[in-house]
C-alpha cells in the first residue's frame, strides 16, 4: 500500500474489515448465548507511521529529520546531458578535406560573431594524411605540417615520398591521389595563434628543387576528435531530456484541500562544463488528478534562470555540485501542491556563456556533462480539511448465510494527529452500489489532540459499532468489493498545522459478532 493509504487509515481499517473469517471458522468463536450468538475476534494490530512506510517504489522514500518529523520524498531519474553536441560542432572546423591553396594556408579556428575562440585544444583521436595532384615528372618528397600542433615538442606532420605525376585534372575537377602515409593525432596539442592555425607543405623534387606550388594539395582529416578545448566556447543551448516525477501521495485524492508547511521542490545539479552555464527551463508543470497542467511559477523559471556552479580551468576533469530549492519564498509551490498534483513534468536545458562575455575563458572536455535530478519533498507537518481518498477491496460474503444479525465492533487507539471520517460502499458485480457501511455520510474517528505547536499530547480511543440485520446483510451478500472513502482533517477543522512523527502509532482491535 502507498503511504497515503496508510496515513489516512486505509491499510489497517481495510485489513480489519475485510480479513473477516469465513463461516466455517465459527467453530473457534466464543458462544455468547443460547441463541447461537458468536463473537469472532478479527485482529489486534499495532503499528507506527514508520512501520508502514516501507512499500514504496524505487523513486519514493522517507526521511526523518532531527526533530523526528517524517519527510515524504519523490524523486525523478537522474538526467545526464553530455558534451557530444558541442564537439560535433567543433569538428566542422576541421572538415575531412581541406584544400591548401599555397605552401602556407591559414585556417580560422574561430567562428564568426565570436561564437568560438579557441586558445587550446587536445586531440583525442583521428589521423591526418595528404591528397595531391602533381604534374611534375619524377620523385617528390612531401611534408605537410601544422606548426601550432605538437606533442612532446614534435610538430604534427605527415611525410611521404611518391613518384609523380599523380592524380589528374578532368576538366576543372581534380582527381586526387591519396597518399598512403598518415600520422595519428591522439595526444597532440593545438594552440592557435590569434585564432589562426597554419597548415604548411613542402614538396622537394629528386633533384633538390622545391616546388612553389602544385595543382592541388589537400590535408585529409580522418575521424578527428578532441578531448579538451579551452577558450571562449560560445553561447549555445545544450538541449536536455524530458522527465517526470510521480507524486503517489495524491493519486487517490477525490476531494478537499490539503496544505503542507514548507513543501519544496529541489534540483540537484552536477556540472563539469568548465564555463558559465545557466538553466533554461523549457517545462516545469504540475499535473493534477483532473489532468490539468499548472506551471510552477518562479522568476528562476520565467526570467533569470539558475546559474550552475562550474569548475575552473585548473579544475578540469572535476565536477561541481549544487542544490537549488523552489519554496514558498521564490515560487507558487504551496498553491500548486494544493491543486491535487499527481506528477511533475519537466525539461531543463543548459545555456553556456549565457551573458556572452568573450573575455571569460573556460573549457570543455569530451567527458563533460551536467546531471539534473528533481525531488519533491513533502514534510508531514501541515494541515488538511476534507481531504479524501478512496480505495477498493474485494469481498466474498457467499459463505455467510442464514444470519439474524452481524455486528462489527472496532476500537481505535490513535496517537496520530488526524481526524478521519470513514465511509464504505458495497459494490456489486456490475458496479452498482448496494449499500453503505455506515448510516449517513460516514463515521468519525477522532484525531489525537495537539498543542499549539501541532504536537500530539495524548492518544485518543474511538469505539465504533456497526450492526446489519438479516435484511440489510442480504442486500450486500452479493457484493464483490468495498469502495472505502476516507476524509481527513487536522485539528480545528483543518486550520491548525500538525507534525507527524515516526513513532506515532495506531492500534486497531476489531471483532465481528454474528447471530444465527
Q: What digits encode the pLDDT tens for the residues 197-233?
A: 999 999 999 999 999 989 999 999 999 999 999 999 8
Whether residue 8 is predicted with pLDDT greater than 60 in this model: the reply is no
Whether the pLDDT of residue 488 is over 70: the answer is no
91 within some domain = no
**Do 375 and 239 have their domain in common?**
yes
Residue 221 is assigned to a structural domain of this protein: yes
pLDDT digits (tens, 9 = 90+) for 61-117: 556 566 656 677 788 888 888 888 888 877 777 788 999 989 999 988 776 566 788
- 38 lies in some domain: yes
- Tell whether 342 is covered by a domain: yes
Residues 6+ positions from 369 with CB-CB distance below 8 Å: 80, 81, 82, 83, 270, 271, 272, 273, 319
CATH (domain of 368): 2.60.120
Lowest mean pLDDT among 39-43, 110-114, 257-261, 484-488: 39-43
- The pLDDT of residue 323 is 97
Q: Is 95 within a domain?
A: no
Long-range contacts of 470-477 (CB under 8 A, 24+ apart): 470/403, 470/404, 470/405, 472/435, 473/397, 473/400, 473/403, 473/405, 473/406, 475/426, 475/434, 475/435, 476/397, 476/426, 476/434, 476/435, 477/397, 477/398, 477/400, 477/401
For residues 228 and 273, membership in a common domain is answered with no
**pLDDT tens for each residue of 248-273:** 766 555 455 555 677 899 999 999 99
Rounded to whole angstroms, how far apart are CA atoms 3 and 50?
10
Task: Note whether 242 and 328 are same-domain residues.
Answer: yes
For residues 428 and 306, membership in a common domain is answered with no
Are residue 106 and residue 188 in the same domain, yes or no? yes
- Residue 410 is predicted with a pLDDT of 74
Give the residue with greater pLDDT, 283 vs 409.
283
Q: Are residues 179 and 288 in the same domain?
A: no
366 and 387 assigned to the same domain: no
Chosen domain end from 327, 351, 379: 379
In this predicted model, what pLDDT tens digit does every residue of 348-374 receive, in sequence order? 999 999 998 988 999 999 999 999 999
Q: Is residue 261 within a helix (H) or strand (E), and if so which, with residue range?
A: none
In this predicted model, what pLDDT tens digit does every residue of 295-351 receive, in sequence order?
A: 999 999 999 999 999 999 999 989 999 999 999 999 999 888 766 678 899 999 999
Task: Give the range of the structural domain holding residue 111, as residue numbers without chain letter.
Answer: 101-232
pLDDT per position as a tens digit, 116-128: 888 999 999 999 9
Residue 491: inside a domain:
yes
How far CA 471 is from CA of 11, 24, 404, 501, 514, in Å, comes to: 29, 22, 9, 44, 14
Beta bridge partners of 130: 219
Residues 326 and 261 in one domain: yes
Out of 344-358, 391-405, 457-471, pick the least confident: 391-405
Lowest mean pLDDT among 33-37, 107-111, 417-421: 33-37
| Domain stop point among 379, 402, 436 | 379
Residues 313 and 354 in one domain: yes
- Indicate whether 422 and 361 sit together in one domain: no
Q: Which of 232, 254, 284 is the last residue of a domain?
A: 232
Q: Which of 145-159, 257-271, 277-291, 341-355 has the highest mean pLDDT?
A: 145-159
Non-local CB neighbours of 344 within 8 Å, separated by 6+ positions: 76, 244, 245, 247, 265, 284, 285, 286, 287, 296, 374, 376
**pTM above 0.95?**
no
Task: Report, as an integer, the average pLDDT of 150-155.
Answer: 96
Residue 237: which of 330, 352, 358, 367 has the closest Cα? 352
Asked if residue 93 belongs to a domain, the reply is no
Are 477 and 420 contained in the same domain? yes
Q: Is residue 106 part of a domain?
A: yes
User: In this structure, are 298 and 403 located in the same domain?
Assistant: no
Domain count, the chain: 3
pLDDT > 90 fraction of the chain, expressed in percent and rounded: 36
Helix H or strand E segment including 335: helix 333-336
Amino acid at each position: 500500500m502507498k503511504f497515503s493509504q496508510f496515513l489516512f487509515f486505509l491499510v489497517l481499517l481495510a485489513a480489519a474489515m475485510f480479513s473477516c473469517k469465513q463461516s466455517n471458522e465459527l467453530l473457534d468463536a466464543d458462544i455468547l448465548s443460547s441463541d447461537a450468538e458468536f463473537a469472532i475476534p478479527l485482529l489486534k494490530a499495532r503499528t507506527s507511521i514508520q512501520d508502514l512506510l516501507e512499500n514504496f517504489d524505487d523513486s519514493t522514500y522517507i526521511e526523518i529529520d532531527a526533530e523526528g518529523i517524517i519527510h515524504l520524498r519523490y524523486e525523478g531519474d537522474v538526467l545526464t546531458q553530455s558534451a557530444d553536441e558541442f564537439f560535433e560542432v567543433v569538428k566542422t572546423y576541421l572538415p575531412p578535406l581541406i584544400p591548401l591553396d599555397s605552401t602556407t594556408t591559414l585556417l580560422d579556428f574561430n567562428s564568426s560573431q565570436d561564437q568560438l575562440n579557441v586558445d587550446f585544444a587536445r586531440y583525442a583521436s583521428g589521423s591526418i594524411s595528404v591528397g595531391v595532384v602533381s604534374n611534375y615528372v619524377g620523385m617528390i618528397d612531401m611534408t605537410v605540417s601544422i606548426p601550432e600542433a605538437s606533442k612532446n615538442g614534435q610538430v604534427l606532420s605527415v611525410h611521404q615520398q611518391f613518384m609523380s605525376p599523380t592524380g589528374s585534372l578532368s576538366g576543372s575537377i581534380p582527381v586526387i591521389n591519396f597518399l598512403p602515409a598518415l600520422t595519428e593525432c591522439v595526444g597532440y596539442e593545438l594552440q592557435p595563434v590569434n585564432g589562426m592555425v597554419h597548415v604548411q607543405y613542402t614538396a622537394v623534387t629528386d633533384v633538390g628543387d622545391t616546388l612553389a606550388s602544385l595543382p592541388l594539395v589537400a590535408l585529409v582529416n580522418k575521424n578527428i576528435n578532441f578531448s579538451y578545448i579551452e577558450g571562449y566556447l560560445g553561447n549555445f543551448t545544450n538541449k536536455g531530456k524530458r522527465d517526470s516525477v510521480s507524486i503517489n501521495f495524491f493519486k487517490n485524492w477525490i476531494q478537499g484541500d490539503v496544505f503542507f508547511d514548507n513543501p519544496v521542490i529541489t534540483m540537484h545539479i552536477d556540472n563539469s562544463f568548465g564555463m558559465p552555464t545557466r538553466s533554461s527551463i523549457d517545462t516545469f508543470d504540475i499535473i493534477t488528478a483532473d489532468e490539468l497542467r499548472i506551471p510552477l511559477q518562479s522568476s528562476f523559471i520565467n526570467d533569470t534562470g539558475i546559474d550552475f556552479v562550474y569548475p575552473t580551468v585548473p579544475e578540469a576533469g572535476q565536477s561541481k555540485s549544487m542544490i537549488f530549492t523552489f519554496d514558498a519564498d521564490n515560487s507558487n509551490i504551496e498553491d500548486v501542491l494544493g491543486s491535487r498534483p499527481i506528477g511533475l513534468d519537466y525539461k531543463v536545458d543548459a545555456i553556456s556563456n549565457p551573458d556572452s562575455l568573450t573575455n571569460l575563458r573556460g573549457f570543455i572536455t569530451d567527458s563533460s556533462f551536467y546531471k539534473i535530478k528533481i525531488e519533491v519533498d513533502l514534510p508531514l507537518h501541515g494541515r488538511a480539511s476534507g481531504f479524501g481518498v478512496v480505495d477498493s477491496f474485494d469481498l466474498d460474503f457467499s459463505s455467510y448465510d442464514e444470519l439474524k444479525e452481524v455486528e462489527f465492533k472496532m476500537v481505535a487507539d490513535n496517537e496520530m494527529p488526524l481526524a478521519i471520517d470513514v465511509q464504505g460502499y458495497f459494490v456489486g458485480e456490475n458496479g452498482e452500489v448496494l449499500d453503505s457501511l455506515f448510516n449517513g455520510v460516514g463515521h468519525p474517528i477522532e484525531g489525537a489532540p495537539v498543542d499549539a505547536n501541532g504536537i500530539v499530547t495524548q492518544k485518543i480511543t474511538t469505539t465504533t459499532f456497526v450492526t446489519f440485520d438479516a435484511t440489510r446483510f442480504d442486500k450486500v451478500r452479493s457484493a464483490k468489493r468495498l469502495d472505502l472513502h476516507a476524509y481527513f482533517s487536522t485539528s480545528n477543522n483543518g486550520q491548525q498545522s500538525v507534525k507527524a512523527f515516526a513513532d506515532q502509532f495506531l492500534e486497531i482491535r476489531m471483532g465481528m459478532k454474528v447471530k444465527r
